[in-house]
Amino acid sequence: MIRRRYRFSGAVQGVGFRYRAVHAAREAGVTGWVRNESDGTVSMEIQGTEEQIDMVLQVIQQSRWIDIRDIRMKEIPCEEEREFGVKDDWWY
């Protein structure tokens, strides 16, 4: 089990990124969250096996509206949680 924090930039807000991420994550059986950031990027923390995480990323990148130009990734400690969902956006 691993946990990673991702920061996606490009055309990632207003294109269904969070919806697609939640759907893919729940299908893959991973936990974590996704949210929009004030600078136009999207942050995501995701926890599962490397294969599960790769599956989620592939689904997100296959969207016809999402155009990821840069991905930053950092390994972080695992957390105790039960599901994957949308976290309150930066303005809340």
> Is 36 known to be catalytic?
yes
Of the residues 3, 18, 20, 35, which is catalytic?
18
Give the integer Cα–Cα distance in Å for 23 and 75. 23
The residue from 36, 64, 69, 72 that is catalytic is 36
Which residues contact residue 84 at a Cβ distance below 8 angstroms, ignoring those fewer than 6 apart?
21, 22, 25, 26, 30, 31, 32, 33, 34, 46
How large is the angle between the packed helices 17-28 and 50-61, nearest 10 degrees? 150
Active site residues: 18, 36
